[in-house]
């Protein structure tokens, strides 16, 4: 079972949680705390950081700080939804594959092998190529690209759990298979799933921002950090602030999630430690 | 060993076959008529008909796949719609640039990663260890595309020390993209080397090596590191795939004329034969590299091949 007391005492978890909660709060409170309208075009284009615009303005005179605060409503949510897709689909596949064994296991695992034979971002780019560019498509693509890893990890844990006595006992008591999987086995394979989900949020945020950066994800004027960074690239030589601050926002968010994930891993699943 | 080899090879063949089906189906999963999507809405009916015929879309699905597989096996990956050139020719012209970048990054990541991981393990709990591990955590958290831009800003634009785009300046133009691409695998390798080394530092043979009067350097490098490096070999194999993926983004940042940039341009232009060709190529290469890594692993660690 999960050692929540150990989790709360872990220093990495604490620092990570502070960073992540800070970013989520910034997004939540964006309409109240952002100094300007994030998509309002003003004549004050490419202005350097000043008291009025602490992070400067972009090529259309939009306040970068305000856009970043509103961006905190996009990237973390994109990461969370993408990982929710990976987790639900991957865990279901892993449970069925590990428990059923035989042909079902064989078919599911070969599909997983095929998906894993593409580097994650390449698979995501392929899916966006099919669906067309856009934030929703990028999110779905990143989510699908994450499914095989979850399926494999859960299958491995289920193979161990299904041999244990409590499963045997439940089976003899006539517990139906779906209930056995969801109520008895699932809670016992959750520790690695929680760790993998947390670390995957970091990967998903980076992947979605990367897709936006190369023009396949969020499209302007959406204040998405990856897209803002891509726009700032053109002005790197003379207006460094346009690209620098959105990138910092991504880095801080991902660092927070990684700290949280590493801390959780140390407490919940030390076997995964590298 | 032969049985392990045959099993592993058979699995790879099945996977490559599956990959070919998935890549083939890409075109058919596109919402709407792929020929219209590729030619844009303004195309006239005869152009659409012509492209449908050229891509074989006017035939039954199984016949299309059989034809596709036959062509692929003969090295024919189709023609790019936009560039009007054979896909295999385009891949061959860009591949050396991507390989150059990936090889430079992987070497850098392995050298620095193993060194940092070793120092970190030896100095466990001290300042050097803490700094190295915080550095590794930051390394895996930095978006590669942002790090690349910041390196361009600092070393290219402010200091004027290094070229910032393309690959015309030989080794100098390789430095910034390789460094950017190496960051994540470097951090992973450093963490793995550290934990592997910590596992063996308490072993009897390390104590024996110390007891017979070897220098600490010899104990670490010739005795401890040699036995903890095995998992690093597999990770280096896996990291090659990570590098291929990362190269796509890094090549875009540095206008590096490699496969990744070709893929992004092809996706943006909805040039499906080119997208399919590159995806098939990257995936098959990834499967082969992983197969080689597994075979090396099986060779150096008998527990794997007999397990």
What sign does the CA torsion over B40, B44, B45, B49 have? negative
The mean pLDDT value for B247-256 works out to: 92
The three-state DSSP-derived secondary structure of chain B is CHHHHHHHHHHHHHHHHHHHHHHHHHHHHCCCCHHHHHHCCCCCHHHHHHHHHHCCCCCCHHHHHHHHHHHHHCCCCCECCCCCCEHHHHHHHHHHHHHHHHHHHHHHHHHHHHHHHHHHHHCCCCHHHHHHHHHHHHHHHCCHHHHHHHHHHHHHHHCCCCCCCCCCCCHHHHHHHHHHHHHHHHHHHHHHHHHHHHHHHCCHHHHHHHHCCCCHHHHHHHHHHHHHCHHHHHHHHHHHHHHHHHHHHHHHHCCCCCHHHHHHHHHHCCCHHHHHHHHHHHHHHHHHHHHHHHHHHHHHCHHHHHC
Higher pLDDT, B23 or B306: B23
More confident residue, B156 or B4: B156
Torsion of CA B231, B119, B221, B217, to 10 degrees: -170
Instruction: Using the predicted structure, report yes or no on whether residue B302 has a pLDDT greater than 50.
Output: yes
Nearest C-alpha neighbor of B101 from the set B279, B240, B233, B265: B240
Segment B31-51, tens digit of pLDDT? 877 777 777 766 788 888 888
Interface predicted TM-score (ipTM) of this complex, two decimals: 0.87
- Do residues B239 and B189 lie in contact, with contact meaning Cβ atoms separated by under 8 Å? yes
Q: Which of A130, A237, A254 sits opposite B30 (nearest CB)?
A: A130
As a whole number, mean pLDDT of residues A73-81 equals 93
Mean pLDDT of A33-56: 87
Q: What is the pLDDT of residues B49-75, one digit of tens each?
A: 888 887 778 888 898 899 999 999 998
The mean pLDDT of B91-106, rounded to a whole number, is: 93
Residue B151: the pLDDT is 94
The contacts of residue B26 (CB under 8 Å, 6+ apart) are: A126, A129, A130, B272, B275, B276, B279
Provide the mean pLDDT of chain A: 90
**Cα-Cα end-to-end distance for chain B:** 11
pTM of the model as a whole: 0.88
Q: For B165-223, what is each residue's pLDDT tens digit?
A: 887 878 889 999 999 999 999 998 898 889 888 888 888 888 898 888 888 888 888 88
Cα A200 to Cα A154: distance, rounded to the nearest angstrom: 15
> What CA–CA distances, in Å, run from A263 to A7, A270, B201?
7, 10, 24
B153 touches chain A (CB under 8 A): yes
The pLDDT of residue A274 is 47
Provide the pLDDT confidence category of residue A130 given band limits of 50, 70 and 90: very high
pLDDT band, residue B303 (cuts 50/70/90): low
Q: Would you call B142 an interface residue with chain A, using a CB distance cutoff of 8 Å?
A: yes
CB of A205 closer than 8 Å to CB of A254: yes
3-state class (DSSP) for residue A63: strand
Residue A88 neighbours by CB under 8 Å, 6+ apart: none
Please give the interface size between A and B, counted as residue pairs whose CB atoms are below 8 Å apart.
Answer: 135
Residue B148 pLDDT > 90: yes
CA–CA distance, A71 with A67 (Å, rounded to integer): 6
pLDDT band at residue B97, thresholds of 50, 70 and 90? very high
Band of the pLDDT at A143, cuts 50, 70, 90? Answer: very high
pLDDT averaged over every residue in chain B = 87
Closest Cα in chain B to A256 = B141
Handedness of CA A118, A119, A124, A125 (dihedral sign): negative
What residues in A contact B29, CB-CB < 8 Å? 130
Residues 80-109 of B with CB under 8 A from A: none
Is B201 in the A-facing interface, judged by CB distances under 8 Å? no
């Amino acid at each position: 079972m999960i050692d929540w007391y150990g989790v709360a005492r872990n220093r990495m978890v604490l620092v990570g949680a502070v960073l992540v909660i800070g970013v989520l709060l910034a997004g939540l409170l964006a309409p109240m705390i952002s100094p300007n309208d994030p998509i309002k075009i003003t004549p004050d284009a490419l202005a350097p950081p000043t008291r009025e615009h602490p992070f400067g303005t972009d090529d259309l005179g939009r306040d970068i700080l305000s856009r970043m605060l509103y961006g905190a409503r996009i990237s973390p949510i994109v990461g969370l939804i993408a990982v929710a897709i990976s987790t639900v689909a991957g865990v279901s596949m892993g449970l069925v594959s590990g428990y059923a064994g035989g042909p079902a296991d064989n078919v599911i695992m070969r599909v997983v092998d095929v998906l894993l034979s593409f580097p994650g971002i390449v698979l995501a780019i392929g899916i966006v190529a099919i669906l067309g560019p856009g934030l929703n498509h990028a999110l779905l693509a990143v989510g699908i690209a994450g499914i095989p890893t979850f399926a494999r990890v859960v299958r491995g844990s289920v193979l161990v759990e299904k041999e244990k006595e409590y499963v045997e006992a439940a089976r003899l008591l006539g517990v139906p298979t779906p209930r056995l999987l969801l109520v008895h086995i699932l809670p016992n394979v959750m520790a690695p799933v929680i760790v993998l989900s947390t670390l995957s949020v970091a990967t998903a945020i980076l992947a979605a921002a990367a897709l936006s950066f190369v023009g396949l994800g969020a499209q302007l004027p959406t204040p998405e950090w990856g897209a803002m960074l891509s726009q700032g690239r053109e002005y790197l030589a003379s207006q460094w602030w346009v690209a620098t601050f959105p990138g910092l926002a991504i880095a801080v968010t991902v660092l927070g999630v990684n700290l949280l994930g590493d801390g959780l891993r140390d407490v919940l699943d030390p076997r995964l430690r590298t | 060993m032969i049985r392990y080899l045959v099993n592993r090879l058979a699995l790879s063949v099945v996977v490559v076959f599956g990959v070919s089906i998935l890549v083939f189906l890409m075109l058919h999963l596109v919402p709407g008529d792929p020929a219209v999507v590729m030619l844009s809405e303004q195309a006239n009916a005869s152009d659409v008909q012509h492209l449908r015929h050229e891509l074989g879309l006017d035939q039954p699905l199984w016949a299309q796949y059989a034809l596709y597989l036959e062509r692929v096996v003969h090295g024919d990956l189709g023609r790019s719609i936009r560039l009007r050139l054979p896909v295999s020719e385009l891949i061959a012209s860009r591949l050396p640039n991507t390989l150059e970048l990936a090889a430079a990054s992987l070497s850098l990541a392995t050298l620095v990663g193993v060194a940092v991981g070793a120092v970190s393990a030896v100095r466990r709990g001290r300042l050097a260890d803490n700094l190295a591990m915080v550095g590794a955590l930051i390394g895996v958290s930095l978006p590669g595309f942002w790090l690349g831009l910041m390196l361009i800003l600092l070393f290219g634009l402010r200091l004027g020390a290094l070229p910032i785009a393309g690959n015309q300046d030989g080794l100098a133009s390789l430095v910034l993209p390789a460094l950017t691409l190496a960051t994540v695998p470097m951090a992973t390798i450093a963490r793995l080397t550290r934990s592997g080394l910590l596992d063996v530092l308490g072993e009897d043979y390390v104590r024996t090596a110390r007891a017979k009067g070897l220098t600490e350097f010899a104990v670490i490098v010739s005795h401890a590191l040699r036995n903890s490096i095995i998992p690093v070999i597999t990770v280096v194999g896996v990291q090659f795939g990570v590098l291929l993926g990362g190269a796509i983004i890094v090549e875009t940042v540095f206008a590096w004329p490699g496969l990744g940039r070709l893929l992004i341009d092809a996706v943006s232009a909805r040039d499906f034969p080119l997208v399919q060709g590159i995806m098939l190529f990257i995936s098959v290469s990834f499967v082969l590299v992983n197969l080689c890594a597994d075979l090396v692993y099986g060779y150096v660690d008998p527990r794997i091949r007999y397990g």
